[in-house]
Chains A and B, each alone.
Chain A
């Protein structure tokens, strides 16, 4: 949204191809939304007061407002709680629209920093959440310092990395995959 000036969104300047792109990224029933609003009042993003939330995101997507959606970070605040999917009367799976917008954003490197951090940790350690000082905590709970996951098994971790290298991560990752 522009600061100052005339607060009008010119719909004819929107990007028609955005809808097709999103349909290809998993939001295949995007156009069937009748904007009834059932998802909106149950969406944590709306209840928390984020600028964009599920109903608004779908309407903006259908109108082709690519730039507005990709510039706003609200879509990365989706909890994936799937309550919208559960209640949607048109059964369009609204959550998949959010996933599609994120997937479109990733292609143009328009994501928040912690997304890349999570991906980097996932690749290097096998865990998106990898906080320091866990060894001490595990000792207090009477457990071995390293959990029996990919973090303590280099061979299997390397295999997991190979799996990731064969996915879209190879194309998109802004960090080297080695």
Chain B
């Protein structure tokens, strides 16, 4: 059994624990032993320590990375911001040994040392590279039955590519998440705004209406070009926008259609046979149509 550390972040355990349940289920089903990262904290979020200074940011990220290092495992995370913050801090410390030195001076005060041996994964890359689409296909219990998926990889899962250990061939034309959906029996076409930002993050906190308007523009193109059954999201922050954010737009009567949203972890877990209630407990946009298509066809 391969061991892996599941880095929870903040949004997944507190706002979308259904994604946490799904992630734990799929990791177990695919042969991973989940090692709990006790004491893990916020990645830290870009609006907090990274906006204060580089050493503070690296120290907070290193706190989390050392937890995994001490247990000898890699990390997988379902949030793009966590993926970005941890990897970028790791990259800065690698490129600038003086930063690493300063960080270790701070960590020494609590008896820790950052070595730089842990690799940080996201679910897209883990399922694509470590598991593989064919392997995934052979393990699923429920085929997606041609479910039309509009995928959202998420900005942080793609850029800055120099800081990431693994990535798409062309980050402006991402195909990994599409291939994963298709391996599970779905149909995942390309759409022209596939790399556009969803608007969730600092923009949503600073200018909520503008953020939702930006999101609506993206969703309108998705509806017009693909008209999918579901959107499959690689980042939990994007998921908040695609799900709860969409519900808000519907409530404000700014949207006259609904497209349900699922995190990659959720749809994979469901295909692997997870408890649908638990895997979708927090969804705002109703998912019954999607579930029926997946389960009904078997």
Contacts and interface: CB of A to CB of B under 8 A. Distances in A.
A13 interface: no
B37 to A, nearest CB: 7
Nearest to A115: B47
Interface in B176-222: 195-197, 199, 201-203, 205-207, 210-211, 213-214
Given A130-B10, A147-B13, A149-B8, A80 B46 contact: yes
B69 interface: no
Contact of B51 (A48, A106, A127, A156): A106
Interface in A49-102: 49-50, 73-74, 76-83, 85-86, 95, 99, 102
B136 interface: no
How many residues of B sit at the interface, in one of the four size bands?
A: 35 or more
B244 to A, nearest CB: 12
Contact of B203 (A25, A45, A82): A45
Interface stretch (B103-111, B122-130, B144-152): B103-111
B47 A137 contact: no
Interface string B26-47: 0000000000111111101111
B17 A141 contact: yes
A85 B84 CA distance: 13
A86 B171 contact: yes
A85 B46 CA distance: 16
A167 B54 CA distance: 10
A7 interface: no
Most chain-B CB neighbours within 10 Å: which of A26, A127, A156? A127
A172 interface: yes
A48 B156 contact: no
B66 to A, nearest CB: 10
Contacts of B275: 142
Nearest to A153: B39
Interface stretch (B55-63, B224-232, B251-259, B286-294): B55-63
A128 B155 contact: no
Contacts of B210: 48-50
A71 B13 CA distance: 35
A137 B282 contact: yes
B44 A168 contact: no
Nearest to A138: B17
B159 A44 contact: no
B10 A77 contact: no
B60 A143 contact: no
B113 interface: no
A122 B48 contact: yes
A166 B56 CA distance: 8
Interface string B152-168: 00011011110000000
B281 A169 contact: no
A48 B199 contact: yes
Interface string A95-127: 100010011001000011011001100100011
Contacts of B18: 140-141
B49 A140 contact: no
A150 B7 CA distance: 12
A159 interface: yes
B106 A167 contact: yes
A149 B41 contact: yes
B106 to A, nearest CB: 4
B159 to A, nearest CB: 4
B281 A140 contact: yes
Contacts of A126: 39, 41-42
26 contacts: A26-B54, A49-B213, A81-B156, A82-B159, A106-B51, A114-B205, A122-B41, A128-B44, A129-B42, A134-B13, A140-B17, A142-B21, A147-B20, A148-B8, A149-B41, A150-B40, A150-B41, A159-B39, A159-B110, A160-B63, A160-B110, A163-B110, A166-B109, A167-B56, A167-B60, A168-B55
The 8 closest A-B pairs by CB, nearest first: A156-B39, A81-B155, A167-B56, A147-B13, A126-B41, A77-B206, A129-B10, A141-B17
